[in-house]
Structure 1
Amino acid sequence: MSASPTTDDSSSLSRRAWLVVGLLFPVALLNYLDRQMIASMKVSVMGEIKDIGSEANWGHMLASFKWVYAIFSPIGGYIADRFSRKLTICGSLFAWSLITWLTGHVGSFNELYWARTAMGISEAFYIPAALALIADYHTGGTRSRAVGVHQMGIYCGVMTGGFAGFVADSPDLGWRSMFDFTGLAGILYAIPLLFLLRDVPIQVVKQAAPIKTTVIDKFIQALDNIIETTRELLTNRNFILLVLYFTLPALAAWVVRDWMPAILQKAFNISQGKAGVSASLYWQAAALLSAILGGWLADRWMRRSQRGRIYVSAIGMMLIIPAMYGVGNAPALNSFALAVASLVLFGVGWGFFDCNNMPILSQIVRPDMRATGYGIMNFVSMMCGGVADWGFGVMSDRHVPLNMIFGVFALVCVVSLMIVLMIRPKREG
């Protein structure tokens, strides 16, 4: 009698698939906790490190992180696709945690600038590898939900980072203590993660006689693989559309993440702690809940249509558009309630959008190109996000009205909505 997969085997595989998501949840949390807390502690950091000087310099520092993150994202994705997603994730976590700890010990703008730049290199290797590993384990019916749960870690990290302003305001703690604690936590978690995380086994067809290759041969072969992978992705119409769709809303999202605490503090004359929490807690909590709902809805919609994930993501984009108008006009109307309500609406839309990007990518590229593809998406998105951060700092120095800036963001999201509906996904695998 031939053997066949048993219920126990299927249950064991399902448990392993969700265990991977659970193991990566704290990593995602730490990844974005580090990014958000510096935005929440901006006043304290600039107050102590005097040579930062201007909003443009602060924006340039934020942009530098994104630009090096962007450059190294495709590299990290390629390494994860060709070698090991597990080792890429664990190495990235250890490196960025060490740099986080070092950030708490900088003494000048130059040192802070280069610490954040190095942080961009180390963090670039995580997201493409993590989302590709989740997609490897969750083949189909649970993919959007699994990505949504992972993204909840990101939202929890941003929400936690929002409280960093209160820590920075505390005379007994200060802003440096947040970097010390977060860095040490990441270093310690990297050790058990290395032993618990597993790559999906890949079957390799063995050749009858091994072929001896030199280092130069291996280098040429790797270069050929990179060129062929890049060529295939960049000639894929659906992939190009997804890159654009992924990038355009991120222009607004990075400004919201990086600058909203400062915007609320200045516009409504509130404390650094209250501004940090208000700028992150509400919309990230909304995104957290909507990512779960959006993942569930997308997985169910996929039973009826191959475009189910696209439709759910498009609904999210439709919600982001009016949210941008609300955020931009709240200060002029002196309505803190409107600002918070608009951020909540933005969070709901963002959760629907965020939990479906890797699942949509999995429908339009081969499994062995997922991490590389997401790395390229990150490259374009982060490069543009860096320009948005720097540009917002420059525009703040020149007193450009917020409603004008966020009005442009809203129009960009309208274009993004039209783009996603042009994507033609293939059968999920």
Structure 2
Amino acid sequence: MKNTGEISINKSLFYPWLVVALLCVVGCLNYLDRMMITTMRGSILEAIPMSDTQFGLLTSVFLWVYGLLSPLAGFLADRFSRSKVIIGSLFVWSLVTWLTSRATSFEELLLTRALMGVSEACYIPAALALIMDYHRDKTRSLATGIHMGGIMVGQSLGFIGGWLAENHSWTFAFTIFGVIGIGYSLLLAFTLKDVDKTVDHATGSSRSPIGFGDAVRNLFGGKDYILAIIYWGLISIVGWMVVGWLPTYYQEHFDLSQSMAGVYATGYFHTASLAGVLLGGFLADRWSRRNPRGRMLVPLYGLLVAAPAIYLASGTSILSVAIVCFMLYALTRTFTDANMMPILCLITDGRYRATAYGILNLFSCIVGGLGIYAGGVLRDANVNLNKMFEVAAAILLACVAVMYFIRPDPEKASSELN
């Protein structure tokens, strides 16, 4: 017989939002732990001499492992307990974060980054799928947006690693945040619960065990999911390109110092991104009550603003105009982040949500890495960054066209209307 305490927790109006709050902290730690190493480069090189190629490989190997394992990690969340996958992922990557502080050679650092890619790959598909389990229809996009906001806070706090490395040592930050993560995973073991997975809450029918091959065949059997992959891949190219090259653009185009370019490219940018995921989630939840395509239209119209904004920013000679335009891009482009998982809920089988997002993560990592690499190739060929951002604007318009042709399942869409 099912534990009555779990039933009361899961049916509480308060608990679904508590789940979002709990996962916001995990999402913050997820990105903080992975980003710290990039902000303490000098301190690490003093302790463990290595070439720039080797240091770059530390991030690349994480991204490769993370991306390649994301589909399987998503399947584990669909097949087994989402909350246990989340807790296990947090515990393992926090332990690996702690172990990183014990590394004394490049090879040991490389191994810990690969292990972190394995463990962190399990988190986001499971977390977003669990949020979808608790937030149905009217609050889905806002709940997702709040969680993505936690991730963005973690990105923006990456500087803490460099600060702690300068004031203590490069190992200190990894030790501290490793211990914090391990402790928080123990707290989640007592507070984070699954909904009843034996029943499909959308249909009321029993759920049977699923296989990875069945999930892949089902997902790729629908054109809308394939279009979603194309959309996510294209928008990821732009996202990685802008994040990777925006500080350089500010520094070179407006003759700024490295520190000031960093402030404009991160502080202003991430603040607008945080506002964007919250606003995009709120607008989509409201619009979807009247229009079955509301969750698709909010990102679509957002990109219709983002594309000309980034185009104008690429050509202006006025710093304030560039800052405002890139902030406008950050605000409206992140409407997609708040709505991608809710969109998947409208076009895929509910049994395969985490797997579906894991496959999207795989494509995002592949094309995102290619986008950064292509930017470097173009720079070596003396292509101006202005031209790269103009290409990015064109890609965003292509994303608009792709999103236009994605259609929700009529039965799933009808459940969201008043």
* TM band (smaller chain): 0.7 to 0.9
Counterpart CA distance in 2 for 1:384 and 1:310 is 22
Of stretches 62-71 and 237-246 in structure 1, the one that deviates more from structure 2 is 62-71
In the alignment, what sits opposite 2:290? 304
Counterpart CA distance in 1 for 2:162 and 2:378 is 24
Q: Of the candidates 271, 283, 292, which is equivalent to residue 278 of structure 2?
A: 292
Q: SS at the partner of 1:424? A: coil
In the alignment, what sits opposite 1:416? 399
Counterpart CA distance in 2 for 1:167 and 1:49 is 17
C-alpha contact (below 8 Å) 2:9/2:15 kept by paired residues? no
Matched, 1:91 2:78: no
In the alignment, what sits opposite 1:387? 370
Matched, 1:26 2:9: no
Counterpart CA distance in 1 for 2:389 and 2:105 is 32
Q: SS at the partner of 1:51? A: coil
In the alignment, what sits opposite 1:216? none
| Deviation (angstroms), 1:50 | 4.4
- Give the 3 Å change call, closer, same or farther, for CA 165–323 of structure 1 in structure 2: farther
Of stretches 102-111 and 145-154 in structure 1, the one that deviates more from structure 2 is 102-111
In the alignment, what sits opposite 2:303? 317
Superposed, 1:24-423 pairs within 5 Å as 24-42=23-41, 45=44, 50-54=49-53, 59-162=56-159, 164-168=161-165, 170=166, 172-203=167-198, 225-258=211-244, 260-261=246-247, 264=250, 268-272=255-259, 274-325=260-311, 328-329=314-315, 333=317, 336-396=319-379, 399-423=382-406
| Deviation (angstroms), 1:324 | 3.5
- Give the 3 Å change call, closer, same or farther, for CA 10–16 of structure 1 in structure 2: closer
C-alpha contact (below 8 Å) 1:36/1:258 kept by paired residues? no
Counterpart CA distance in 2 for 1:180 and 1:258 is 28
- Give the 3 Å change call, closer, same or farther, for CA 394–190 of structure 1 in structure 2: farther
What residue ranges of structure 2 are gaps of 5+ in the alignment? 1-7, 201-207
Counterpart CA distance in 1 for 2:47 and 2:383 is 27
> Which amino acid letter does the alignment assign opposite residue 127 of structure 2?
A
Aligned length: 398
Counterpart CA distance in 1 for 2:276 and 2:291 is 21
Q: SS at the partner of 2:158? A: helix
C-alpha contact (below 8 Å) 1:62/1:386 kept by paired residues? no
| Deviation (angstroms), 1:140 | 0.6
| Deviation (angstroms), 1:408 | 2.2
> Which amino acid letter does the alignment assign opposite residue 26 of structure 2?
V
| Deviation (angstroms), 1:384 | 1.3
In the alignment, what sits opposite 1:210? none
> Which amino acid letter does the alignment assign opposite residue 94 of structure 2?
S
| Deviation (angstroms), 1:125 | 0.6
Considering only aligned residues, what root-mean-square deviation do their CA atoms show, in Å? Answer: 3.0
C-alpha contact (below 8 Å) 2:36/2:162 kept by paired residues? yes
In the alignment, what sits opposite 2:4? none
Q: Give the TM-score, by structure 2 length.
A: 0.85
| Deviation (angstroms), 1:386 | 2.2
Counterpart CA distance in 1 for 2:197 and 2:337 is 28
C-alpha contact (below 8 Å) 2:249/2:385 kept by paired residues? no
C-alpha contact (below 8 Å) 2:10/2:195 kept by paired residues? no
Q: SS at the partner of 1:356? A: helix
Counterpart CA distance in 1 for 2:314 and 2:104 is 35
Of stretches 336-345 and 367-376 in structure 1, the one that deviates more from structure 2 is 336-345
Counterpart CA distance in 2 for 1:107 and 1:399 is 39
